[in-house]
Chain A
């Protein structure tokens, strides 16, 4: 058996930052290309959506102020999950024109594919915290830090999924449709429109296995109620995050070397 050595990448470590910035910037520009308001709309979207949902839910659920906030947080976080996993799954296919031009670390393309969704989520989080402050329920610094850590874990989960799905999509071209069905079904698995407590406790463990569930529940709990989940719950979430990220990285390492041949 003869060994195979490959050439180095064209992008050195010094150029990583520039490449990441360029991918994020051009993705952002492409997404809002030609829309009325362009960049301004991108920035206003989370704010306007928040205000619209808040207004509508204030009428519909007038007697349950807690529920409307829970619902808004659940909807935004799930939208982040749907949008970022979808763009992650399609990322290598979408950037195939770069992959056949030069050798560079393609995982950057996968990781930066969630940038638009991350920007939206960050702005939403700022709007949410500002609203809570105006309503006289300012979250503590520790609560905000915990909330930020949940979103980091959410991003790691999305990255793990995207690494695996982006390379598998090159082999299974209907994977995006399969995933769309899964995420639609998953919307009802995650306790977004219903409280977890209405279901028997024995099924909770299965619902928690669906990654958006613990993120949504912990985020609501820490920001709205000011209560953090137990250390064991945090440990389980971290284990789930690391398992998804690790498995995604393994599948990516297995399939990525030949992905240019499948473009």
Chain B
């Protein structure tokens, strides 16, 4: 059995930003012969790291440094342009959970929808649904449609589902940023439980104290590259220092003809 549950080797990712957007059949047809340019925005550049079994790994970086894109690639939601991601255990990502419910369904149906997408069976969900509602403190609103939920209530529900759905590896984007003090406390306790029981955890946060307190090790991402890897507290300190420095120019790779860019 390998000691790593996730291996990321030389992963790069770019997005193409066209000078003029064409989103419709009509626009494509009318502008067929018109040359347009595009800009390649490189978000990640040869990122390499591993998440070891039972480890809690932090990921820090400024806004736009590529953290969310990296999490989506590791979670298999975005493809990488180059490099390799090897995943040796089931991954449960918690990404953008404040948004994206079916507003016409109540909490119970939405739990079933998100739970099955995250790999839970219907049998597991029948047992887990009351626990999920209890964790999110939403038992009283179990049959209220999500359109009537506040953003905080919706996010709490999402965290509760994902925390219950996790099998082996948990990937979290900005954990502990939701709910009141009591809910944050429960999230932190659940996180510690998962760590103690041998789950592997990849945690993104802008909060140095969170990374220092909850992670064994951390990475610092700057301009799409990993600029530091080491003890969580040291990386958190370096991140704080980085915030006082000017941002890098970015990794734009220049103007390219649209046809060559896509």
Contacts and interface: CB of A to CB of B under 8 A. Distances in A.
A21 B102 CA distance: 16
Nearest to B99: A97
Given A2-B82, A6-B79, A26-B102, A101 B96 contact: yes
B78 A26 contact: no
B109 A29 contact: yes
A12 B119 contact: yes
A15 B23 contact: no
Contacts of B95: 100-101
Contact of B112 (A22, A99, A171): A22
B83 interface: yes
B113 A7 contact: no
Interface residues of A, number: 43
A174 B24 contact: yes
Contacts of B83: 2, 4
A260 B25 contact: no
A11 interface: yes
Interface stretch (B85-93, B128-136, B232-240): B85-93
Contacts of A102: 75, 77, 92-93, 117-119
A30 B93 CA distance: 26
Contacts of B75: 7, 102-103
B79 A257 contact: yes
A5 interface: yes
A6 B85 contact: yes
24 contacts: A2-B82, A4-B84, A4-B85, A7-B6, A10-B117, A11-B119, A18-B120, A18-B121, A18-B122, A22-B112, A22-B116, A25-B109, A26-B112, A29-B105, A29-B109, A96-B100, A99-B77, A100-B77, A101-B97, A101-B114, A103-B91, A171-B23, A178-B25, A260-B77
Interface of A: 1-12, 14-15, 18-19, 21-23, 25-26, 29-30, 33, 96-104, 171-175, 178, 257-258, 260-261
